[in-house]
Amino acid sequence: MILSKTNVAPLATVTDNPQSATQDVNVVTDGDYSSVYTTALSIGIHQVTFNFTTPQNIGYIAVAGNISQKTSLSVNATVDGSNVGVLTKNLGYNDSQVMVFKVDLTGVTSIWFQSIGSGQLAITEIAMGEYYTVPNGGEQSGYKRPWTIPNRETRTAKSLNASPIAALYQGRSIKSRLTIPNKLMANYTDYYDFLDFATTSTFYILEDDDPLHSCAGFNIKPLETKAHGSTRLLGVSGFNFDAYSKGMIL
């Protein structure tokens, strides 16, 4: 499991091709899911490019929006002056998605995203940067997996005979907690850097190698690290947070 601890996307110059006639592509870096970059595609390729003035280390890439209805997502980058193919993800899901990819690139001066297909395209955020690795084999048993359920719920009115007569569908945040039970206190700096970032920014969690086994985290509430019951060299750390993975793009 990895947790994002930086986001260098706002440092880049961002361009789109074909260019949207109505929206500034920079909304994909503002961290606000209410500002959605939208455009309509005929059959073809839509590209969003990030250019950096200084080389960046990029360990993860997070993409949120309803690009899931396109055929595929392709990511390429310029690394140490050479163009490299980073990944290609075949899509086909109907829900909006948060997808996180572990890429481990160094010396990146540009990176571009190509959405291939047709129809409406909506991007709420693209984030990228370095990550913190959950140590010692991962999180505690019983960790809630926010990506397994949609971020919505139903409120239904009932008739006198208790049958459903009206339904309202609304979004909801998913409450979750991550506990790290055996953390070496000598390596606490990386975890503190993650907390320092996550308390001021949307952060991303990738559970394994599947980019759909991921979520965006916000409203993080760090828990004080407790001393381990067996040794002072270890600590028990954790945090509560709200999560978003699949839901309605408003």
Q: Tens digit of pLDDT for each residue in 87-101?
A: 787 766 555 688 999
CA atoms of 151 and 136, how far apart (whole Å): 30
The answer, as to whether pTM is greater than 0.85, is: yes
Same domain, residue pair 223 and 160 = yes
**Do 47 and 129 lie in a common domain?**
yes
Domain boundary among 112, 133, 154: 133
The string of DSSP codes covering 170-194 is: EE-PEEEEEEEEEEEGGGHHHHHHH
Please name the residue that has the structure tokens 């074909």. Answer: 18
Q: Does the pLDDT value for residue 12 go beyond 80?
A: yes
Q: Are residues 32 and 102 in the same domain?
A: yes
**Are 32 and 128 members of one domain?**
yes
pLDDT mean over 128-141: 78
pLDDT value at position 2? 93
Average pLDDT, stretch 58-78?
Answer: 82
DSSP letters spanning 26-94:
GGGGSS-TTS-EEEEEEEEEEEEEEEEEEEEEEEEEEEEESGGGSSEEEEEEEETTEEEEEEEEE---S
Tallying the residues shown for the chain, one arrives at 250
Split at pLDDT 50, 70, 90, the class of 70 is low
Tens-digit pLDDT profile for residues 152-196: 777 778 877 877 877 777 677 788 888 888 777 877 888 999 999
| CA quadruple 12, 115, 33, 196: dihedral sign | negative
Whether 163 and 207 map to the same domain: the answer is: yes
pLDDT tens-place string over residues 18-52: 888 778 999 999 988 888 898 877 767 889 999 99
User: Residue 50: inside a domain, yes or no?
Assistant: yes
23 and 123 share one domain? yes
Q: Identify the pLDDT of residue 250.
A: 43
**Rounded distance between C-alpha atoms, residue 146 and residue 243, angstroms:** 6
Between vectors from CA 49 to CA 48 and to CA 51, what angle results, nearest 5°?
160
Q: How would residue 247 be classed by pLDDT, with cut points 50, 70 and 90? A: low
Q: Which of 102, 133, 164 is the last residue of a domain?
A: 133
What is the tens place of the pLDDT at every residue in 196-232?
Answer: 999 999 999 999 888 888 999 999 999 888 887 778 8
Domain check: are 10 and 124 in the same one?
yes
Residue 151 has pLDDT above 80, yes or no: no
Half-sphere exposure (Cβ direction) of 174: Cα atoms closer than 13 Å? 21
The domain in which residue 191 lies consists of 146-244
Could you say which of 133, 163, 181 is where a domain stops?
133
Q: Do 19 and 82 share a domain, yes or no? A: yes
Tally of domains in the chain: 2
